Amino acid sequence: MAISEWPATTRGLNPVTFDDNFRRFLKRASPDFMARRIRQFEEFGDYVCTTFEDQADYSDRVHPPVLTHELTNPTQPRDRRGVVYLNDRYLQAQQELHRRGFLSPVFDLQNPEAHLLPFCTQYVLGDVSGGCPWAMTHPDAWAIARYASPAVKAQFLPELLRTDGQAKTGGTWGTEPASGTDLARTVTEVVRQDDGSLRAYGLKWFTSNAGSGVALATARLRGAGEGASGIGLYLIPSHIDEDWRIRNEYEVTHLKDKLGTRALATGEIHLQGALAYELVPPPHGMKAMMEILSCSRVHNALASAGVMRRALMEVLCWTHHRQPFGIPLIKQVPTKKRVINMTTEWLAGSALAFEAALSFDQGINGSEEDRIWMRLVTALAKFRTAEQAEWVTRMAKILHGAAGYVEDYPITRINRDAQVLSVWEGPEQVQAKELTRLIGGKVPGDAVFLTRLQQIVQTLPDDTMGYDKARLVLKLHDLEPALATLRERPQAADHVEDEFLDLMSHTLAYALLLKEASWELAHEHDMKKLLVARHYYERAFERKAAPDFRVTDLQSHFDTIAKGVPIEMPDIPANPGLTI
Ligand SMILES: Cc1cc2nc3c(=O)[nH]c(=O)nc-3n(C[C@H](O)[C@H](O)[C@H](O)COP(=O)(O)OP(=O)(O)OC[C@H]3O[C@@H](n4cnc5c(N)ncnc54)[C@H](O)[C@@H]3O)c2cc1C
């Protein structure tokens, strides 16, 4: 969007109309989806930058979740149970996502919408605390639709899909005191009763959206044995009667006192014989939980990209008005340089996140190769976008000066909340291990990665992007033997898998930026994305021996970029020196 007058704050600045890159992604990836949904997203954008944002601030600072200990039986005053209360504005914000129809169409049996819909919703929201329940409700609904018995599905799936303001939201309960990364050490137990029903006992140690109506939990079925093969996946509702009035036998014993995401209730939950329904029996429960997490990880990537967009919007508003030395910050070269770097990381991260969202629909409906690609992109995008979001929000804080460290400005909350993106849904090492697993798999992940990136290379035009194409080819050329070595020497993976994660995520981001750039040159006559891709290449791959005094192409076009208008391609291709 071309903005002539930057407002003092982002309140009222619609993130969808601001964000040409999102609109172009939809147009490029699925014009039909764009035609069906863009109006819905624009209207949602109006809500996000007003009512939702007011709620986010209120829920973070004024009325975060509260844990109370309620009497379970008035005649027994010592019998109490921990219950979480969320403020009404937070609850309403969650309902708004359902009410606006961002989830239910995906599960329409006649004409199902792509999972892209709830993923894009997460991106537009761009708020970690508000988006976390959504990142669990969507995969919960997907898992229930796939795995639950007809009776369990009929009982619970419609509850998650309601659009009447009464929808139940979801949780995923994996982590325990001794098992976060290592879910095979789960000790929560599910015991079959004489009447065939199941009861769960144990302690779930980090449960976000504590207070959800439905949770999917890993647990060990008594008698099923040790290790991962003894674990099943169970649905645990908050209430056990039809009217959702009688509480299930579990309680929130503690709310985590966290660095950020204060609006989000993250609890310790003690299961004291909670009624549970088997979704996936052992030995396949762990695998099913991993599938749920693969969906949440895509959400994490989109949340990271959305948070970067939000942080950049905050910076643009702030720097147009703040005037140290009597000059608006945005007109000062050091600021321009940082804004360009932030923009570059946001666009690269968005390219990764959008590809992860697209690959999800293809992966769950397509071939084995599509599935491997989905898992590769998810791991690479989860890792890289979280790193970027932490960096971009940190930079936004710095550009705000002292204002970036006080609660009067939203960037403080945004920066705090972003710190969790690299931790939950599997930290860096977990994504690196996933990469190693895929590379060593029956269908080698490295071959899928290289083939897909070669396919991107084939689509790049030689005349305008020959140099960029050659640089990508050289990167793939260097990676190929290294990946083959990793496949042959899995015992060495611990030493190098983080480096592969780093390198492959940069290479993928660069390739996706080039792919977008070639489309934007052809369809929008705009070379901004190409300049961004080149700048990203330099940031990702080029260690400078000494500071470079040249004004980069992106810097020379700063005013055009800040106005949000296209940059026309000159007749002579830039940097024609390198050929394949
Ligand atoms: C705010 C918040 C909310 C959360 N909400 C939920 C929730 O709703 N549901 C839920 O189930 N969990 C939740 N979590 C937990 C989160 O998913 C875990 O913290 C995360 O998966 C890591 O597990 P851990 O903390 O046990 O780390 P650990 O397993 O103790 O690992 C510590 C570090 O060692 C690394 N590591 C572990 N094993 C290896 C290995 N073999 N090789 C190399 N490195 C390794 C890890 O990557 C990590 O960096 C939440 C966490 C936070 C902070």
Mean pLDDT over each residue of the chain, to the nearest integer: 94
Residue 137: strand pairing partners:
none
Retrieve residue 535's tokens: 């700048």
**CA max distance for the chain:** 85
What residues have CB less than 8 Å from 111, skipping those under 6 apart? 105
Does ligand 1 come within 6 angstroms of the Cβ of 423? yes
Separation of alpha carbons 470 and 472, rounded Å: 5
3-state DSSP assignment of residue 504: helix
Q: Please check whether residue 394 is in contact with residue 315, taking contact to mean a CB–CB distance below 8 angstroms.
A: no
Choice from 173, 264, 423 to test ligand 1 binding pocket (greatest atom count within 8 A of CB): 423
Residue 53's CB: how many other CB atoms inside 10 A?
A: 23
φ/ψ of 542, rounded to 5, equals -110, 110
How many angstroms is it from 58 CA to the middle of ligand 1?
A: 28
How many angstroms is it from 427 CA to the middle of ligand 1?
A: 7
Does ligand 1 come within 6 angstroms of the Cβ of 437? no
Cα dist from 240 to 212, 235, 236, whole Å: 13, 12, 9
Cα dist from 7 to 10, 123, 157, 317, 339, whole Å: 7, 22, 43, 6, 17
Say yes or no to pLDDT of 349 above 90: yes
Retrieve residue 334's tokens: 């050091």
What residues have CB less than 8 Å from 324, skipping those under 6 apart? none
Retrieve residue 358's tokens: 């697209």
Q: Please check whether residue 503 is in contact with residue 509, taking contact to mean a CB–CB distance below 8 angstroms.
A: no
pLDDT above 90 covers a percentage of the chain that reads: 89
Say yes or no to pLDDT of 580 above 70: no
Q: Please check whether residue 187 is in contact with residue 178, taking contact to mean a CB–CB distance below 8 angstroms.
A: yes
Separation of alpha carbons 340 and 551, rounded Å: 12
Say yes or no to pLDDT of 180 above 80: yes
pTM to 2 decimal places: 0.96
Query: What is the mean predicted confidence (pLDDT) over 470-493?
Result: 95
Q: Please check whether residue 3 is in contact with residue 564, taking contact to mean a CB–CB distance below 8 angstroms.
A: yes
Say yes or no to pLDDT of 351 above 50: yes
Q: What is the pLDDT of residue 243?
A: 94
Model confidence over 372-397: pLDDT tens digits?
Answer: 999 999 999 999 999 999 999 999 99
Model confidence over 207-254: pLDDT tens digits?
Answer: 999 999 999 999 999 999 899 999 999 999 999 999 999 999 999 999
Model confidence over 64-105: pLDDT tens digits?
Answer: 999 999 998 889 888 899 999 999 999 999 999 999 999 999
Model confidence over 243-282: pLDDT tens digits?
Answer: 999 999 999 999 999 999 999 999 999 999 999 999 999 9
Say yes or no to pLDDT of 340 above 60: yes
Does ligand 1 come within 6 angstroms of the Cβ of 422? no
Separation of alpha carbons 413 and 563, rounded Å: 27
Residue nearest to atom 29 of ligand 1 (CA): 181
Query: What is the mean predicted confidence (pLDDT) over 516-534?
Result: 96
Q: What is the pLDDT of residue 576?
A: 47
Model confidence over 112-147: pLDDT tens digits?
Answer: 999 999 999 999 999 999 999 999 999 999 999 999
Does ligand 1 come within 6 angstroms of the Cβ of 383? no
Q: What is the pLDDT of residue 574?
A: 53
Choice from 129, 137, 175 to test ligand 1 binding pocket (greatest atom count within 8 A of CB): 175
User: E-assigned strands of 249-383?
Assistant: 250-255, 266-280
Nearest residue to 380 (alpha-carbon basis) of 500, 252, 261: 500
φ/ψ of 545, rounded to 5, equals -75, -30
Domain layout of the chain by residue ranges: 428-563
How many angstroms is it from 176 CA to the middle of ligand 1?
A: 10
Atom of ligand 1 nearest to the CA of 425: 17
Say yes or no to pLDDT of 164 above 90: yes
Retrieve residue 132's tokens: 């976390």
Separation of alpha carbons 420 and 297, rounded Å: 13
How many angstroms is it from 228 CA to the middle of ligand 1?
A: 17
Query: What is the mean predicted confidence (pLDDT) over 446-464?
Result: 97
Say yes or no to pLDDT of 2 above 60: no
Say yes or no to pLDDT of 577 above 50: no
Residue nearest to atom 36 of ligand 1 (CA): 429
Say yes or no to pLDDT of 563 above 80: no
Calculate Rg over the CA atoms of the chain: 24
Say yes or no to pLDDT of 405 above 90: yes
How many angstroms is it from 431 CA to the middle of ligand 1?
A: 12
pLDDT above 70 covers a percentage of the chain that reads: 98
DSSP 528-559: HHHHHHHHHHHHHH---SS---SPPHHHHTHH
Atom of ligand 1 nearest to the CA of 260: 1
Separation of alpha carbons 71 and 83, rounded Å: 10
Q: Please check whether residue 473 is in contact with residue 580, taking contact to mean a CB–CB distance below 8 angstroms.
A: yes
Q: What is the pLDDT of residue 222?
A: 95
Atom of ligand 1 nearest to the CA of 172: 9
Q: How confident is the model at residue 579 (pLDDT cuts 50, 70, 90)?
A: very low
Query: Taken in order 299, 304, 307, 308, is the CA torsion positive or negative?
Result: negative
Does ligand 1 come within 6 angstroms of the Cβ of 498? no
Residue 502's CB: how many other CB atoms inside 10 A?
A: 17
Out of 74-78, 177-181, 201-205, pick the least confident: 74-78
In our burial notation (b when 16+ CB lie closer than 10 A, e otherwise), range 142-162 reads: bbbbebbeeeebebbbebbbe
AA identity, residue 497: E
Q: Please check whether residue 265 is in contact with residue 210, taking contact to mean a CB–CB distance below 8 angstroms.
A: yes
Q: How confident is the model at residue 575 (pLDDT cuts 50, 70, 90)?
A: low
How many angstroms is it from 386 CA to the middle of ligand 1?
A: 15
Does ligand 1 come within 6 angstroms of the Cβ of 173? yes
How many angstroms is it from 126 CA to the middle of ligand 1?
A: 23
Out of 207-211, 246-250, 423-427, 562-566, pick the least confident: 562-566
Of the two residues 485 and 544, the one the predictor is more confident about is 485
Retrieve residue 353's tokens: 């996140």
